[in-house]
Amino acid sequence: MDEIAQNRQAICDFLNSKKPEKAANAAQAASKTEAPTAPLQALGAIGQASLGQAWQQHPAKQVLEQSLPLAQGTIRQYPWLSLGAASALGAVLVLSPGLRRQAWRSLQGQLPDSLRQWL
């Protein structure tokens, strides 16, 4: 056991001696490649604020807030059944050629008019 402890201590010493060098190298590399981020941060804040306001007014938010506690209670009460249902739904979505074809068309914007009016 003494040999194992010595090896472990040697590994820890080696790792501790290398950490400051790597941190200094990473800091130097980051300072060399810094770009002006103030305009990007401003655009990000504007986008986040506008998306936040849009989500607050969206009807799907209310549906989510109403159904989330019910879904959480059901999942806690029947965890294995919920896992099985989620797996089955995922398998149906992945393996069904019609659903894959419809998802592909919707991604391409080529849904039939009868379905486009419902979406």
pTM: 0.38
Output the CA angle 8-10-12, nearest 5 degrees: 70
- Give residue 87's pLDDT: 94
93, 99 Cβ separation under 8 angstroms: yes
Between 24 and 9, residue with greater pLDDT: 9
CB 11 within 8 A of CB 17: no
Render pLDDT for 14-56 as a digit per residue (tens, 0 to 9).
777 765 555 555 555 555 555 556 667 777 777 777 777 887 8
Write down the pLDDT at residue 78: 93
Q: Is it the case that residue 112 has pLDDT exceeding 80?
A: no
d(CA 106, CA 93): 14
Q: Which residues contact 99 (CB under 8 A, 6 or more apart)?
A: 92, 93
Half-sphere exposure at residue 65, Cβ-oriented, CA atoms within 13 angstroms: 8
Over residues 53-92, the pLDDT tens digits come to 887 888 888 888 888 899 899 999 999 999 999 999 888 8
d(CA 83, CA 103): 24
Contact residues for 100 (Cβ-Cβ < 8 A; gap 6+): 93, 94
- Angle CA 74–91–83, to nearest 5: 25
